[in-house]
Amino acid sequence: MHMIKFEWKKLCRLRVFIFFLLMTILLIACLFIRNDMQQDMVKAERVEFFRHHSSEVTSQLVTDQKRQSEIGEGADSTLEESIEVGKTLYAKLQDLITHITEDGHMKALQLENDVYELAMHYQSLDKRYPMSQPEMEDEIKLNNKLLKNELPKENLAISIQPAVFMKQTVQLLVNTFGFFILLVIIGTPIAREFDDKTIKLTYVLPISSTRMVVSKWISLVLAGMAWLFVVFLSAYTISRLFGSEVKSLFNYPFFTKDMTFISAGDYVQQSIIFSVIYLFVLMSVFICLSFLVKNTLIVHIVLFILFSINLLIIKNGGAHPLLPWSYQDLDFTVLQHEAASWLGAIFSFLVTIIMLLLAIKASQRRDYQS
Instruction: Count Cβ atoms within 10 A of the Cβ of residue 239 and give its class: 0-12 exposed, 13-18 middle, 19 or more buried.
Output: buried
Phi/psi for 295 (5° steps) reads -150, 120
Nearer to other proteins, 127 or 356 (CB): 127
Residue from 61, 131, 228, 264 touching other proteins (CB under 8 A): that is 131
Residue 312 within binding range of other proteins, rule CB under 8 A: yes
Stretch that binds other proteins, among 129-137, 146-154, 158-166, 229-237 (CB under 8 A): 129-137
The mark string for 71-110 relative to other proteins (x by CB under 8 A, - otherwise) is: ----------------------------------------
Q: Where would I find the H helices in the chain?
A: 2-12, 15-37, 39-71, 77-101, 105-124, 133-149, 162-173, 176-195, 199-203, 209-242, 264-293, 296-313, 330-334, 342-363
Residue 146 within binding range of other proteins, rule CB under 8 A: no
Stretch that binds other proteins, among 6-14, 109-117, 296-304, 340-348 (CB under 8 A): 296-304
Residue 304 within binding range of other proteins, rule CB under 8 A: yes
Residue 125 within binding range of other proteins, rule CB under 8 A: no
Amino acid identity, residue 29? A
Nearer to other proteins, 124 or 208 (CB): 124
Residue 30 within binding range of other proteins, rule CB under 8 A: no
Residue 227 within binding range of other proteins, rule CB under 8 A: no
DSSP string, 195-248: HTTTHHHHHTSS--HHHHHHHHHHHHHHHHHHHHHHHHHHHHHHHHHHS---TT
Residue 316 within binding range of other proteins, rule CB under 8 A: yes
Question: Taking a C-beta distance cutoff of 8 angstroms, is the pair 10, 189 a contact?
Answer: yes
Residue 207 within binding range of other proteins, rule CB under 8 A: no
Interface residues for other proteins in 9-28 (CB under 8 A)?
A: 16
Residue from 5, 34, 128, 366 touching other proteins (CB under 8 A): that is 128
Nearer to other proteins, 301 or 354 (CB): 301
Residue 258 within binding range of other proteins, rule CB under 8 A: no
Nearer to other proteins, 62 or 301 (CB): 301
DSSP string, 30-71: HHHHHHHHTHHHHHHHHHHHHHHHHHHHHHHHHHHHHHHHHH
Interface residues for other proteins in 170-199 (CB under 8 A)?
A: 181, 184, 188
Among left, alpha and beta (phi > 0; psi -120 to 50; other), residue 273 is alpha
Residue 34 within binding range of other proteins, rule CB under 8 A: no
In whole angstroms, how close is the CB of 298 to other proteins at the nearest point?
Answer: 6
3-state secondary structure at position 122? helix
Residue 117 within binding range of other proteins, rule CB under 8 A: no
Q: Tell me the CB-side half-sphere exposure of residue 7, using CA atoms within 13 A.
A: 26
Residue 138 within binding range of other proteins, rule CB under 8 A: yes
CA 347 from chain centre, in angstroms, equals 22
Distance in angstroms (rounded) separating the CA atoms of residues 27 and 159: 15
Nearer to other proteins, 233 or 309 (CB): 309
Residue 301 within binding range of other proteins, rule CB under 8 A: yes
Amino acid identity, residue 350? L
CA-based angle 117:118:124, to the nearest 5? 95
In whole angstroms, how close is the CB of 296 to other proteins at the nearest point?
Answer: 8
Residue 302 within binding range of other proteins, rule CB under 8 A: yes
Of 231, 219, 101, which Cα lies nearest the Cα of 179? Answer: 231
Residue 134 within binding range of other proteins, rule CB under 8 A: yes
Spatial neighbors of 76 by CB under 8 A, at least 6 apart, are 68
Question: Taking a C-beta distance cutoff of 8 angstroms, is the pair 217, 284 a contact?
Answer: yes
Residues that bind other proteins (CB under 8 A): 16, 123, 128-135, 138, 181, 184, 188, 295-298, 300-302, 304-305, 308-309, 312-313, 316
